[in-house]
């Protein structure tokens, strides 16, 4: 059974639909429905990973660096850590991996040698743009099949879900 089938098949344990209080979460949701949510989130993550030509974390990091570069002209690793809610070692590892692949470079600040600035290389921009184009092509097809209105509702609910989840996890 794959993840999609797990989300779609009714549970044999449901029976009459009666559940103990231990099996129910807040708002009358069953433990099973939260399990299905975890499976669905993982399934989407796997699909996104397969859709991109580079690992999702690397693509997300390149996009974050690109956006921050446009705003300020440079990016500090500490800003990435804050923006992406990652630990210092996680940011360091990812920057090192991206640097090894030639997608970015780190430069010591001219004005203050204590600071290292991160910038995307041309190779990194090409890789990022190729991945974004591939993802965009696939997501356009999804939107066509899903419909404009449903896609807008999905995006609105997803933003709300992500905001609240972030508040619960990081606050």
For 17-41, how does the pLDDT look when each residue is reduced to its tens digit (9 = 90+)? 455 555 545 556 688 888 888 888 8
Q: Give the pLDDT band of residue 118 (cuts 50, 70, 90).
A: very high
CATH of domain 56-128: 1.10.10.10
pLDDT at residue 160 greater than cutoff 70: yes
Token pair for 168? 């619960």
Domain ranges of the chain: 56-128
- 57-90 confidence digits (pLDDT tens): 899 999 999 999 998 888 999 999 999 989 999 9
Q: What is the pTM of this model?
A: 0.71
Mean pLDDT: which of 47-51, 68-72, 125-129 is highest? 125-129
Closest CA to 41 of 166, 162, 163: 162
**Angle of helix 122-146 relative to helix 148-170, nearest 10 degrees?**
120
């Amino acid at each position: 059974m794959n993840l999609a089938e797990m989300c779609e098949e009714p549970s044999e344990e449901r029976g009459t639909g009666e559940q103990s209080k231990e099996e129910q979460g807040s708002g009358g949701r069953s433990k099973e429905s939260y399990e299905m949510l975890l499976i669905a989130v993982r399934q989407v993550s796997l699909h996104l990973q397969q859709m991109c030509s580079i690992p999702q974390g690397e693509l997300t990091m390149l996009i974050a660096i690109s956006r921050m570069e446009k705003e300020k002209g440079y990016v500090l690793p500490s800003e990435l850590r804050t923006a992406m809610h990652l630990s210092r070692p996680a940011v360091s590892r990812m920057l090192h991996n991206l640097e090894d692949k030639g997608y970015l470079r780190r430069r010591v600040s001219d004005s203050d040698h204590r600071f290292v600035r991160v910038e995307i290389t041309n190779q990194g921009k090409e890789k990022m743009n190729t991945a974004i184009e591939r993802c965009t092509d696939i997501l356009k097809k999804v939107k066509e099949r899903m419909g404009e209105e449903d896609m807008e509702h999905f995006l609105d609910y997803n933003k709300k879900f992500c905001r609240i989840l972030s508040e619960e996890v990081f606050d």
